[in-house]
A and B are shown apart, each in its own frame.
Chain A
Amino acid sequence: MMGQPQSGAEILLRALEEQGVEVIFGYPGGAVLPIYDALFQQNALRHILVRHEQAAVHAAEGYARSTGRVGVVLVTSGPGATNAVTGLVDALMDSVPVVCLTGQVPTHLIGNDAFQEADTTGITRPATKHNYLVKRAEDLARVIHEAFHVARSGRPGPVVVDLPKDILIGPAPYRSKPESAHRTYRPRTVPDAGAICAAVTALKRARRPIVYAGGGVINAGPEASRRLTHFVRRTGFPCTNTLMGLGSFPASDPHFLGMLGMHGTYEANLAMHGSDVMLNIGARFDDRVTGRLAAFSPGSLKIHADIDPSNINKNVAVDIPIVGDAAQVLAALIEAWEADPEPAEAIDDWWQQIETWRGKDSLRFTQRKNPDALIKPQYAVRRLYELCRESGRDVFISTEVGQHQMWAAQHFRFERPNRWMTSGGLGTMGYGLPAAMGVQVAHPDALVIDIAGEASILMNIQEMGTLAQYRLPVKVFILNNQYMGMVRQWQELLHGSRYSESYSAALPDFVKLAESFHAKGLRASCLGELDDVIREMLDTPGAVIADIAVDPAENCYPMIPSGAAHNEMILGPEQAERAASVTDEGLMLV
């Protein structure tokens, strides 16, 4: 590569290549034309042209979460960058490693309100883990390497690199990936031995222990999930997962209590409430999980392992904090558990108690069985799950946001990490289709399904075009209840059934919509059609939209109403009046 000096754009691509990047999700524009020109002249990097910049970030998130690698986004200045902001905040909230390259007006015009200028670093400062504006060509390669380091290490997150056009056009020197760690950013990964010891001592004495594992376990790589599974089986403790942690522990294992939190199972929430020692690994005591803080697991000694010290003692005061990477924490816990000569307390009584809670079957629903019966959304997810399993294929599920998302979390069961992509922290409608697209790019032969709502899917429906262009066989499985169901449910329970603006009026014909995007469209209007439609969807080699008409009145249970405690759960419609007792304080909560 000696001789001809390389342009900034070429240096950029070279740095991406050295970082192991294979795919970029992007959308062109004036400020990034030099990068697109350089992309045109090479073959190492694949570019997927999305239809909206928000979708580029969600696609990169899907790619990252299903592979454990950094997802890469390329957008132009101004509107390109501002369109990406929702995706960036989504990645920030869910700790997804993404590097987003944004074009910028040339350095001499910055601050002049130039055409398509936006203060991208200003706008994205609170939307990213870190961001950079490259003002000197000699900084370019170093900043790119640094951006990847920051995105993937510690608690992962999105990083923006803002690239003025003159830097991309002018010559720039190359610098290789540094061998040594970053000057200052060196998050702690190895846990403190004393804290591990204290944790094991407490866990051995526990009579009502519970393991509460979150997305941090998945972010720590598949080995962390294997260790979690080993640790739980070795100790015999019950284990629950957060929404983000699903797949970190096999759902079929008898130790698994299901998801906890607002729409978690009865047994998971009551076990959290009644436990005497809680081990939280890689979860952050989110308000969807804790319910009313003052009443959250009141009697437990709390052990909290997290790679981000700012997560510890943020919402809930913990007794034994452990800062470290989940995989390393679990390895240390396993070792210390084996080394400790103390026998563990017997927990048979605790399991007996849990089994009585489990006996409530809190995810139950009633599906009438006549062929023309209305389809219950839960049943549709169950059948989708069962038929996916029968297919024997590697299945990845993404979701949009709403009731369907919760039903998917409750009724689709995950045995392995990195198979479940959902917008947890930000709750972004429109996440699922582009995320599925990113997953499918990374896993071309896998079965990738977006479990969607009819309202959410319209938020990034344009990505059907991307599916068509790249022949990505993503399946969109719409639980069509003709309502923004989750909004309708809150209005029913908390606002006197005044369904203000939550009806999905004037919906498109999803079958024709699919066809117009060169995909297959299917529809199931009653129970008798459901299995056939799912089978046909799974057997279709290309992209599919399956529009499943489900019961518009169904609510998502169990539910902890906002401001309530875990032991104040509503199990079903027969207890719905409990929601009426929600206090004004509870009403204020989201």
Chain B
Amino acid sequence: MPEQRTATISLLVDNEAGVLARVIGLFAGRGYNIDSLTVAAVDDARQQSRINIVTSGTPMVIEQIKAQLDRLVPVHKVADLTQLGAHVAREMALVKVVASGEPRVESLRIADAFRARTVDTTPGSFVFELTGSIDKIDAFIALMRPLGLAEVSRTGIAALARGQNTIQQ
């Protein structure tokens, strides 16, 4: 079994009805993984949206995913950021911790260390806002779990290549 790899793939697509369903349907229909998916309009003039997908599979499957995505008529551009080299990927998470006493204090201390912002406070709870890589957010959530982690909401990633390269090239 060849090694699995994780890939961050960005798509530039026509901002039209059904385009997200096409992308998701492709993944569901062909049995590919989606670890994270985000979509938003990025260019009003051209009516284009950007979709960022984190997926995993063997190198052959990742190539197949890209080729299948490229075949969709409203998809303009498929970029495998993981393969293109260095890139930045950021996700935002809201994390609710329900705790009192020492765990409550400890959660605040960890939040501070992670540069999380406290966006809601009650005597028995906090909501932290945290931005960072997937790994950083995973780590933060793992640390909060024993302290009274109650709920998590994550955005999925936004990603760009480092340097002067853009998805248009």
A and B co-occur in one complex: yes
Residues of B within 8 A of A44 (CB): none
A121 touching B18, Cβ below 8 Å: yes
> In the complex the two chains form, what is the Cα distance from A494 to B18 in whole Å?
44
A308 touching B25, Cβ below 8 Å: no
Q: Which label, helix, strand, loop or mixed, suits the secondary structure of the B interface?
A: helix
Shortest beta-carbon distance from A582 to chain B in Å: 24
User: Quick one: given A126-B25, A308-B71, are A313 and B63 in contact (CB under 8 Å)?
Assistant: yes
> In the complex the two chains form, what is the Cα distance from A150 to B25 in whole Å?
20
Interface residues of A in 308-344 (CB under 8 A from B): 308-310, 312-314, 317
Which of these, B22, B60, B71, contacts A313 with CB under 8 Å? B60
B68 touching A310, Cβ below 8 Å: yes
Tell me whether B113 is interfacial, beta carbon within 8 Å: no
Tell me whether A115 is interfacial, beta carbon within 8 Å: no
Which of these, B22, B63, B67, B73, contacts A185 with CB under 8 Å? B73
B22 touching A310, Cβ below 8 Å: no
Which of these, A126, A135, A184, A317, contacts B73 with CB under 8 Å? A184
Which of these, A126, A130, A310, A313, contacts B29 with CB under 8 Å? A126
A103-132 vs B, Cβ < 8 Å mask (1 yes, 0 no): 000000000000000000110011001100
Closest to A154 in B: B71
The number of residues on chain B lying at the interface, defined by a beta carbon within 8 Å of a beta carbon of chain A, is 19
What class of interface size applies to chain A in its complex with B?
Answer: 10 to 19
Tell me whether A39 is interfacial, beta carbon within 8 Å: no
Tell me whether B45 is interfacial, beta carbon within 8 Å: no
User: Quick one: given A309-B70, A313-B63, A313-B64, are A122 and B21 in contact (CB under 8 Å)?
Assistant: yes
A184 touching B71, Cβ below 8 Å: no
Tell me whether B75 is interfacial, beta carbon within 8 Å: yes
> In the complex the two chains form, what is the Cα distance from A126 to B22 in whole Å?
8
B72-106 vs A, Cβ < 8 Å mask (1 yes, 0 no): 11111000000000000000000000000000000
Tell me whether B129 is interfacial, beta carbon within 8 Å: no
Tell me whether A133 is interfacial, beta carbon within 8 Å: yes
Minimum-distance CB pairs A-B, first 9: A310-B67, A130-B73, A309-B67, A184-B76, A185-B73, A310-B68, A126-B29, A310-B71, A125-B25
Chain A residues proximal to chain B, CB less than 8 Å: 121-122, 125-126, 129-130, 133, 135, 150, 183-185, 308-310, 312-314, 317
* 20 contacting pairs across A/B (C-beta < 8 A): A121-B18, A125-B21, A126-B25, A126-B29, A129-B73, A130-B72, A130-B73, A135-B17, A184-B74, A184-B75, A308-B71, A309-B70, A309-B71, A310-B68, A310-B71, A313-B60, A313-B63, A313-B64, A314-B67, A317-B60
Chain B residues proximal to chain A, CB less than 8 Å: 14, 17-18, 21-22, 25, 29, 60, 63-64, 67-68, 70-76
Given contacts A121-B18, A312-B67, A314-B64, 12 further A-B contacts (CB under 8 A): A122-B21, A125-B21, A126-B25, A126-B29, A129-B73, A130-B72, A133-B18, A184-B74, A184-B75, A308-B71, A309-B71, A310-B71
